Amino acid sequence: MNNSAVHDRESHADPPVLPLVWRLGLITAGTLLIWVGVIQLTTALWGPETSLQQHVTNAVGVGVPAVAMVLIFRRHVDRRPVSTLGLHTGKRAVRDFLYGALTWLIPATLGLTAALLFGWVEISINSSIVELIGVVLLLIVLVFVYEAFPEELIFRGYIYRNLTATVSPLISVLIQALLFCAFGTALSGIIDGWGASLFLERSSVFFVMGIVIGCLRVMSGSLWAGMGFHVAFQVATQLVLGSNYADITVSDEAVFTLATGGLAFLAATSVAGRLWRRRANWSKPEPEVNRATEHLLAGGSADSKQ
């Protein structure tokens, strides 16, 4: 179905219950309340040091209500199908997830290799190969449930799709990145405390991450791409810089972060351009269609148009 046909259908779509600004504000506030509430509850039960039990509880406690919130908002407030958020199924979902992971892993691996060869950073691994494999698999599941799936579903799924119905994908990427930055910075400040340097550091990381993953969302047309990038980034960071699951020592955490995450943030879209050879729409809004015509759009949304 072409763009003109989609625009013709727009006038027949069921109107949302609330204006766009209210929907975006409520979903962002609800996201913050869920994360803060669950983290504070598990901290009260097990203390500030993150244990496996606490990590699992956080993942389930955040993931379930966050996904339920999106389902309720999308179906009963937006009056639109959840399928239009970019959650494709089958081989495409697997491919986009793996491609998304590669957009982080390829530049991060190259950057870390260079840092190790030039002696800018040293890494000491005292855990066995079997232990490392087990930890990586565990972290993949926890990061996916706790962070990647719910955060991408909310910001690059629900918020992004609502925005693209009115403004261009480029503007949508910017706005969702600002909301993601506000959520992440507020969450970090509430949980870990505030400070001028910490505020600048956190807000910069969350905003850049929101921009990069938002661009992957446009270039791939799929939520799974951002989830793959999110999982790769967080698993590597928590594995090497965290001290809860593996015995790994890094001589300079700042150099490691710049060589991996910093380079990946800069190069991710370039890698994505090689992986997804599709014509991305950056400039034209993608209006919602009514339920009767959803099945006419391949993949369930305008995302599927190449």
Task: Identify the weakest region by mean pLDDT among 9-13, 54-58, 182-186, 246-250.
Answer: 9-13
Q: How far apart are the first and last CA of the chain?
A: 11
What are the helix (H) ranges across 118-222?
129-143, 149-151, 160-164, 169-192, 196-220
Q: What is the pLDDT of residue 14?
A: 78
Q: Both tokens of residue 214?
A: 């938002």
293 has a pLDDT exceeding 70: no
Write the CB contacts of 45 (distance below 8 Å, at least 6 apart in sequence).
54, 57
pTM of the model: 0.88
Q: What is the pLDDT of residue 13?
A: 61
Rounded Cα–Cα distance for residues 170 and 205 (Å)? 19
Q: What is the pLDDT of residue 173?
A: 98
- Cα 219-175-180 angle, rounded to 5 deg: 90
Task: Identify the weakest region by mean pLDDT among 7-16, 50-59, 93-102, 172-181.
Answer: 7-16
1 has a pLDDT exceeding 80: no
The average pLDDT across 161-187 equals: 96
Q: pLDDT-based confidence at 198, cuts 50/70/90?
A: confident
